[in-house]
Amino acid sequence: MTRIALISTAEEADDVAGMAYLSIGAVRADAVFASDLQRGDEPSAGQVRQAVAAAIRALGSSGCAGRVAQEFGDHPETAVIRMRWARRVAREAFADPAPEQGPAGGVDAGGWLVVRPRLPAEHTSSCVSGAVT
């Protein structure tokens, strides 16, 4: 898949270049780490997702990574504990929900997500017969 990014500043170029080397899980963990969330608050999955979005919006992925690096430099003992927690809650908050059984009675499509367009009511009956109007 080809992704196209419009880059207007050197800072945006750095963010895009850095993203190529980080997994989305690492970016999310860095964002949780850089956020205001605290371990003792036991945030919900929704709170974690909101905090990740806010941190990335405010700091960018490279800014979140910079905060992580700064904390590991200044306070390595506590940074290790916070990063373990950040990785765990980010992984849990963004975990895929349990798959729902579709009309095929739970038969999956070999790991593929099957998306079918929703047709207007007037096309539904003609598609059943094989002719599309």
Give the global pTM.
0.59
Residues 23-60: pLDDT tens digits?
Answer: 899 999 999 999 999 999 999 999 999 999 999 999 99
> What is each CA distance from 50 to 37, 63, 71, in whole angstroms?
10, 17, 22
Asked whether residue 95 carries a pLDDT value surpassing 60, the answer given is yes
Distance separating the N- and C-terminal Cα atoms of the chain: 33
Q: What pLDDT is stored for residue 15 in this prediction?
A: 55
- For range 68-73, the mean pLDDT: 97
Mean pLDDT over each residue of the chain, to the nearest integer: 76
Handedness of CA 37, 41, 44, 45 (dihedral sign): positive
| 86 within 8 A of 33, measured Cβ to Cβ | yes
In one-letter notation, the amino acid at residue 39 is R
- For range 119-123, the mean pLDDT: 59
| 33 within 8 A of 65, measured Cβ to Cβ | no
Handedness of CA 17, 21, 27, 30 (dihedral sign): negative
Query: Position of tokens 């979140």?
Result: 64
> For the chain, what percent of residues have pLDDT higher than 90?
53
| DSSP 3-state of 112 | strand
